[in-house]
């Protein structure tokens, strides 16, 4: 949308980032970007490998006089979260991102920007491309499908990489170093139902819950933003209890790792209760606006629609509504030693009817393995109590902090020398790939850092221009001061 992005400073980073915005790369559809990065490495005459799953590895030798430094792996993921506003016409598998400069930020027109993790990929590409940096042996690892399963990290095999230090370029607050992360697991509850014929004397309505901010289900989970699925369920459970509402279909949320921003349902209730129902909806909208002050755009709307011929059986409906009502959601526990950091959370991400099933998809995160298992057991017990089958998948480990790491000492000193203060050292409540990668390469000393990104996983995603330059200067100074081999 605005090619001037490619001329921002540092030019190599922004040039590569702009190119990435022009390549469709939603999770599990990364074929085009894999080919792009492969061609990029080969065009530089560097050793380039594409492994069996689609991860791309590019190796660059040390510059003269730096051969004795520990090898550093620069790591980022190629995929992006495909989220758009309901009124935006955009095909993430075909259309480029319409990125543009908005004051001090770069953002996108009605869609996610893909700065998560396009800016990290672009920075690694800039290091590979640059001919005036000082660095030891460099390996760039570009993984696939980080956002919907960390498939690339899980499938990476031993023996491909030789370095000792991993710099994960996938954090979202400049001036912060992450030395640990939460693990995660997916929980899916499945309700089987049968249809019952529509009764007489009922009116049908489409209910819409829209206007919520949503956001990243790890980084933003502590902000207490509204969850569209929880709000919709509150509307439905009240209407069911007081007015004998019936449900034809429901579709809330779109990604397991995003706080749901919208939910839609087609319902029916006795004609004589319509006005009471309308009053209830207004009351609930006002209530949620008061308690979710971070979501002033919330709207709950009713639209009369054509009467469906059939509805979900009442027994299943009752079980579904009760199960969602009692389903844990949001930040549940906090780290004892770092009380500002969420330890354990659960995101009620998707509630969707399809065929004769309703699926409820959730994502649990925790820095403590036993807490992760505990919340999963609670979810399983809750959903099975109300008649659902429960499945788990996508389990991945957390990353245990190492406060005595060599690269941490170097990066704290470099930042202090360059910017006049010590960076904050943190543990992140999100599923960085470091936990998985470190299990495959246990010798790696790991740090995650990056520029400032706001509202990732939502159409409000934006990246701060000035922090990209600081991030780049910090990265190249870190490479210059990499620890010497033992």
DSSP assignment string, 430-482? S--THHHHHHHSTT-EEEE----EESTTSTT-EEEHHHHHHHHHHHHHHHHTP
Which residues touch 240 (CB under 8 Å, ≥6 apart)?
Answer: 247, 317, 318, 321
Could you count the other beta carbons within 10 Å of the beta carbon of residue 5? 17
Phi, psi of 352 (to 5 degrees): -145, 130
What confidence tier does 417 reach under pLDDT thresholds 50, 70, 90?
very high
Q: Is the pLDDT of residue 306 over 90?
A: yes
Place of tokens 């017990």: 381
What confidence tier does 1 reach under pLDDT thresholds 50, 70, 90?
very low
Q: Is the pLDDT of residue 82 over 50?
A: yes
The mean predicted confidence, pLDDT, of the chain is 95
Choose, from 79, 139, 173, 445, the residue flagged as catalytic.
Answer: 79
In angstroms, the CA 457 to CA 214 distance is 8
Mean pLDDT of the region 176-187? 93
Which residues touch 10 (CB under 8 Å, ≥6 apart)?
Answer: 126, 468, 469, 472
Work out whether strand 165-168 and strand 445-448 pair parallel, antiparallel, or are unpaired.
parallel
Which residues touch 111 (CB under 8 Å, ≥6 apart)?
Answer: 82, 83, 84, 85, 88, 90, 92, 97, 98, 459
The verdict on pTM exceeding 0.85 is no
Q: Is the pLDDT of residue 231 over 50?
A: yes
Reply yes or no on whether 51 is catalytic. no
- The two tokens of residue 468 are 């990209």
Distance from the Cα of residue 185 to its chain's centroid: 14
- The answer to whether residues 350 and 260 touch, using CB atoms and an 8 Å cutoff, is yes
Using CA atoms in the order 433, 438, 439, 444, what is the torsion angle rounded to 10 degrees? 170
Give the single-character DSSP code of 484. Answer: B
Domains detected in the chain: 3-182+398-480 (3.40.630.10), 185-396 (3.30.70.360)
Give me the pLDDT at residue 368, please.
83
Reply yes or no on whether 67 is catalytic. no
H/E stretch holding 385: helix 369-385
239-257 in b/e burial notation, b at 16+ Cβ within 10 A?
Answer: bbeebebbbbbbbbbbbbb
Choose, from 146, 220, 285, 295, the residue flagged as catalytic.
Answer: 146
For residue range 453-474, list pLDDT tens digits in order.
999 999 999 999 999 999 999 9
Q: Is the pLDDT of residue 483 over 90?
A: yes
Q: Is the pLDDT of residue 3 over 80?
A: no
């Amino acid at each position: 949308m605005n090619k001037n992005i490619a001329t921002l400073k540092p030019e190599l980073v922004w040039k590569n980032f702009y190119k990435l915005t022009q390549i469709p790369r939603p999770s599990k559809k990364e074929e085009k970007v894999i080919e792009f990065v492969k061609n990029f490495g080969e065009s530089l005459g560097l050793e380039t490998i594409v492994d069996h799953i689609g991860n791309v590895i590019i190796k660059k030798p040390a510059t003269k006089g730096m051969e004795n430094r520990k090898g550093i792996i620069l790591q980022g993921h190629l995929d992006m979260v495909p989220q758009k506003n309901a009124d935006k016409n955009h095909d993430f598998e075909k259309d480029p991102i319409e990125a543009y400069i908005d004051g001090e930020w770069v953002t996108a027109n009605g869609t996610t920007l893909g700065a998560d993790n396009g800016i990290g990929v672009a920075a690694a590409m800039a290091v590979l491309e640059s001919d005036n940096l000082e660095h030891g042996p460099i390996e760039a690892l570009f993984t696939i499908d980080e956002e919907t399963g960390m498939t690339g990290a899980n499938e990476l095999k031993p023996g491909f990489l030789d370095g000792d230090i991993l710099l994960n370029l996938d954090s979202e607050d400049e001036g912060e170093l992450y030395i640990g992360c939460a693990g995660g697991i997916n929980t899916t509850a499945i309700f089987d139902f049968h249809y019952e014929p529509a009764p007489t004397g009922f009116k049908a309505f489409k209910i819409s819950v829209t206007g919520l901010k949503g956001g990243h289900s790890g980084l933003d989970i502590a902000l207490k933003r509204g969850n569209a699925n929880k709000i919709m369920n509150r509307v439905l459970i009240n209407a069911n209890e007081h007015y004998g509402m019936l449900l034809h279909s429901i579709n809330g949320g779109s990604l397991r790792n995003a706080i749901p921003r919208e939910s839609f349902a087609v319902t029916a209730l006795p004609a004589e209760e319509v006005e009471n129902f309308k009053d209830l909806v207004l009351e609930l909208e006002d209530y949620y606006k008061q308690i979710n002050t971070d979501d002033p755009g919330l709207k709950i709307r009713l639209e009369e629609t054509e009467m469906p011929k059939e509805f979900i059986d009442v027994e299943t409906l009752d079980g579904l509504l009760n199960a969602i009502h009692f389903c844990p959601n949001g930040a549940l526990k906090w780290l004892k030693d770092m009380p500002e950091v969420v330890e354990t959370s659960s995101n009620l991400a998707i509630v969707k009817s399809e065929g004769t099933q309703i699926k409820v998809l959730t994502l649990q995160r925790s820095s403590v393995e036993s807490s992760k298992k505990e919340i999963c057991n609670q979810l399983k017990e809750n959903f099975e109590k109300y008649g659902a089958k429960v499945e788990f998948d996508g389990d991945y480990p957390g990353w245990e902090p190492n406060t005595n790491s060599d690269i941490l000492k170097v990066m704290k000193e470099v930042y202090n020398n360059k910017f006049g203060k010590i960076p904050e050292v943190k543990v992140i409540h999100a599923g960085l790939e470091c936990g998985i990668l470190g299990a495959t390469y246990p010798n790696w000393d790991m740090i995650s850092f990056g520029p400032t990104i706001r509202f990732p996983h939502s159409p409000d995603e934006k990246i701060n221009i000035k922090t990209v330059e600081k991030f780049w200067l910090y990265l190249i100074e870190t490479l210059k001061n990499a620890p010497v081999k033992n």
